[in-house]
Structures are given as structure tokens and as C-alpha cells.
């Protein structure tokens, strides 16, 4: 009997894969103040799921394609006189609504909508595990390859221009990475909780670090602890696994905030 035949081992490995991909991406989301951007991209993924099922193509491919289209649309329209928060609000909720309506037309396909909205990490199979880790490794390779350029473009666009970098190109690379993270995270935490896994671990790590690299590592550690703690909570109290993971992440954020408050008063 293979170790991967244990559903809990598969769930833990899937969660760790998502955590390692989402955490460093979440740092860029925090640094660039892109919280709503991540939310809009995640909400769009449910439309990708519906289209993938309707066209009989892999769900991962449909989710990546629609998330990428959403992210590119936001990037394109943001510089054309639209208020960013208004634009993201319109696109995020519209995409989610169109996705839910599209799912209702799939009468010949059995679909557990709650699993896509809130995740179903305990039902992850061998094929899902392969997709999650392939996507996660691709995100990590992409970030490692462009780390310094992405960091420079994020912290100081003028310096990036002076160094021969194009901040808009780096934005597109981040957009691609974000779409991949959203696609691999759907099975684990669902589209409604992906933004939490992007933001909370990065926010947890922030008070404890001095460099961007330390923050990415700290966020990854926090995300992995959240996954394992959430699975343990779900197993012990029979709670939904995806929301339980986010609850543990939120508890870590509270502890992190208390530590920051004590440190500032000391």
C-alpha cells in the first residue's frame, strides 16, 4: 500500500503545495496593495471551472485561462481612468455571478459547487496532487527566476526603468503567477478563500522579518503551519477543511499582531 493511498497524506501534501506557491505570491500582493486584485482573479476562476466542464477540458486549464484573462483585463483597464477598487469590485462580483449562472446550465454534469467555492482538500486524488505540485513548482521557478526584477519593479518602478527593466512586463509575470496560484488552490481552499491564503500568511510574517526574502520564507512557514493546523482541526472537530485552514491562519495573524503590539510598547 502506497503512502499516497492515505487521503490525509494526500490532503497534507496538496495543502503544502498550495501554501508554498501562495505565500511568496502573497508577499507581492501585500507589497503592491493588490488584495482586491487577488480576490477578483480568484472569483473569476469559478467561471473558468464552468467553461472547462462545459467544454470537457481539464478544470485546471479553464481556471488558469479565465483567471489570466481577468487579471490582464484589470491590468489593461486600470490605467484608463477607472478607479481600481470600483473596477475590481465590478469585475470580481460579475465574474463570480456569471460563473454561478453558467454552472446552473450544466445539467449533464454533476458538480459539487461547494467544493469549488470552499475547497475539498480531503477529496484530493493522485491526479489532483500532480497538478497542484506541477503548478506550485512552476510558480516557484517563475518567482525565483524573476525575483530581483519583480522586487525592484515593486519597490521602485523608476529604479527599474533606470536599470533597463520594464515594470509592466514584471506586472504581467506576476499576473501569470497569480493565475497559476488561483488554479492550483481551487481544490484546496476554494475560490472564496484563496485571497485569504494569499494575504494572511504574508501579514503574519511581516512583524518578524527585516528583508523581503525573509518575509517570503516566513509567509511560507506560516502558510504550511496553517494547512497542517487546519487539517488537524478538521479531523478533530469534523469541521470543513478549507475554512479550518483559514481559521488557523487568522489565529496566527492575531498572535502576530499581539506580538507587534507588545514589541512596540517595549
Give the confidence band of 201 by pLDDT, cuts at 50, 70, 90.
very high
Range from 82-91, 209-218, 231-240 carrying the lowest mean pLDDT? 82-91
Please give the average per-residue pLDDT across 76-89, as a whole number. 70
CA atoms of 132 and 90, how far apart (whole Å): 29
Please state, as a whole number, how many other Cβ atoms lie within 10 Å of the Cβ of residue 100.
Answer: 15
DSSP for 50-112, written as a single string: HHHHHHT--HHHHHHHHHHHHHHHHHHHTTTT--HHHHHHHHHHHHHHHHHHHHHT-TTS---
Residue 213: pLDDT band (50, 70, 90) is: very high
Task: Name the pLDDT band for 88 (thresholds 50, 70, 90).
Answer: confident
- What dotted CATH number matches 3-194? 1.10.3470.10
Q: Higher pLDDT residue, 201 or 263?
A: 201
Dist CA 88 CA 70 (whole Å): 10
Q: Per residue in 106-137, pLDDT tens?
A: 777 667 778 888 888 988 988 899 999 999 99
Going by the DSSP 8-state scheme, the letter that residue 207 receives in this structure is G
DSSP assignment letter at 211: S
Q: Is the pTM of this model over 0.85?
A: yes
Domain boundaries, the chain: 3-194
Q: Please determine, for residue 194, whether its predicted confidence score (pLDDT) is greater than 60.
A: yes
Q: Cβ atoms within 10 A of the Cβ of 239, count? A: 13
pLDDT at 1: 46
Lowest mean pLDDT among 65-79, 192-206, 227-241: 65-79
Per-residue model confidence as pLDDT tens digits over 9-18:
999 999 999 9
Cβ atoms < 10 Å from Cβ of 203 = 21
Taking the C-alpha atoms of residue 246 and residue 241, their distance in angstroms, rounded to an integer, is 9
Amino acid at each position: 500500500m502506497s503512502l499516497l493511498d492515505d487521503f490525509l497524506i494526500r490532503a497534507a501534501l496538496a495543502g503544502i503545495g498550495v501554501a508554498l506557491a501562495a505565500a511568496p505570491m502573497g508577499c507581492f500582493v501585500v507589497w503592491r496593495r493588490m488584495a482586491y486584485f487577488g480576490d477578483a482573479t480568484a472569483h473569476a476562476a469559478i467561471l473558468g471551472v464552468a467553461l472547462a466542464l462545459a467544454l470537457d477540458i481539464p478544470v485546471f486549464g479553464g481556471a488558469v485561462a479565465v483567471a489570466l484573462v481577468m487579471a490582464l483585463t484589470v491590468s489593461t483597464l486600470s490605467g484608463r481612468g477607472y478607479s481600481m477598487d470600483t473596477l475590481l469590485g465590478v469585475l470580481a462580483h460579475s465574474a463570480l455571478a456569471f460563473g454561478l449562472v453558467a454552472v446552473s446550465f450544466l445539467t449533464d454534469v454533476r458538480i459539487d459547487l461547494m467544493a469549488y467555492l470552499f475547497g475539498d482538500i480531503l477529496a484530493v486524488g493522485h491526479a489532483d496532487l500532480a497538478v497542484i505540485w506541477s503548478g506550485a513548482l512552476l510558480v516557484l521557478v517563475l518567482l525565483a527566476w524573476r525575483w530581483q526584477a519583480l522586487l525592484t519593479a515593486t519597490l521602485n518602478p523608476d529604479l527599474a526603468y533606470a536599470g533597463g527593466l520594464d515594470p509592466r512586463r514584471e506586472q504581467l509575470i506576476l499576473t501569470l503567477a497569480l493565475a497559476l496560484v488561483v488554479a492550483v488552490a481551487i481544490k484546496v481552499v476554494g475560490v472564496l478563500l484563496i485571497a485569504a491564503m494569499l494575504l494572511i500568511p504574508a501579514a503574519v510574517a511581516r512583524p518578524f522579518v527585516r528583508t523581503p526574502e525573509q518575509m517570503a520564507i516566513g509567509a511560507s512557514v506560516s502558510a504550511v503551519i496553517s494547512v497542517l493546523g487546519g487539517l488537524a482541526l478538521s479531523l478533530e472537530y469534523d469541521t470543513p477543511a478549507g475554512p479550518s485552514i483559514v481559521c488557523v491562519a487568522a489565529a496566527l495573524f492575531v498572535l502576530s499582531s499581539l506580538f507587534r503590539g507588545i514589541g512596540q510598547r517595549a
